Structure 1
Amino acid sequence: MSARKSAEPSPAAMARADRQRLAAEEGVRAIADVERQAIEVRKNMARLRELREAKEVADAALALSLPSPAPKKRTRKSPR
C-alpha cells in the first residue's frame, strides 16, 4: 500500500468538495426562500383576517340598524 504524501487533493476529492459546497449554498437559499414564503403567507393571512373582521363588524352594525323581522304567526294544522 502506498500512501500519497502530496499536499494536492485528487480531482475526485476536489469535485466532491465542490459538490458539497454547492449543495450547502443551495440549502441556504432554499431555507431563505421557504422563510420568505412563510412570511408572505402570514402577512396575507393577517390582511384577510382584518378584512373578515371588518366585514363581520359591518354586518353586525347593519343587523342592529335594521328592524327585527316580525315573528311569524303559527298556523294550526287542520285535522284530517
Structure 2
Amino acid sequence: MPTDDKATKSERDAAAKAVLDNMARLKAMRLAREAVSPPAPAKKKAATKSGKTSSGKTSSSKSTEKAQALAAWLADQRSGGRRT
C-alpha cells in the first residue's frame, strides 16, 4: 500500500506543477501583451448636477431597484423551498 500513496502523491504533485507552470506562462503572456499596448483607462460616467446618470435615473434609484429585485428573488427562492 505505501507505493500507492507515493504514486498518488507524485501524480498530485505533477498536476499541481502543471497548473502552476500554466499560470506562470499565461501571466507572462498577459504582461507581454499589456507592455505592448497598455490597457485603456477606465471611463467614468458623467453625472449631471441632479445626480442623474445618462439614462435619466438617479444612481440611488438604480441601486434601490437592484436591492428590490434581489429581495424579490430571495423571497421566491424561500417560498420555493430553497434554504440558504
Q: Please, what TM-score do these two structures have when normalized by structure 1? A: 0.50
Q: Which one has the largest radius of gyration? A: 1
Deviation of 1:77 (Å): 2.2
Q: Larger relative CO (CA 8 A, sep 6+): 1 or 2?
A: 2
User: Matched residues in 1 for 2:43 and 2:25: separation?
Assistant: 32
Aligned partner of 2:13 in structure 1 is 42
Structure 1 runs (4+) greater than 6 angstroms displaced: none
Aligned partner of 2:47 in structure 1 is 76
Aligned partner of 2:24 in structure 1 is 53
Deviation of 1:74 (Å): 5.4
Say what the alpha-carbon RMSD is for the aligned residues: 2.3
Taking every aligned residue pair, what percent have the same amino acid on both sides? 12
Deviation of 1:63 (Å): 1.5
Deviation of 1:57 (Å): 0.8
User: Structure 1 pair 78/56, CA: closer, same or farther in 2 (3 Å)?
Assistant: same
Q: Please, what TM-score do these two structures have when normalized by structure 2? A: 0.48
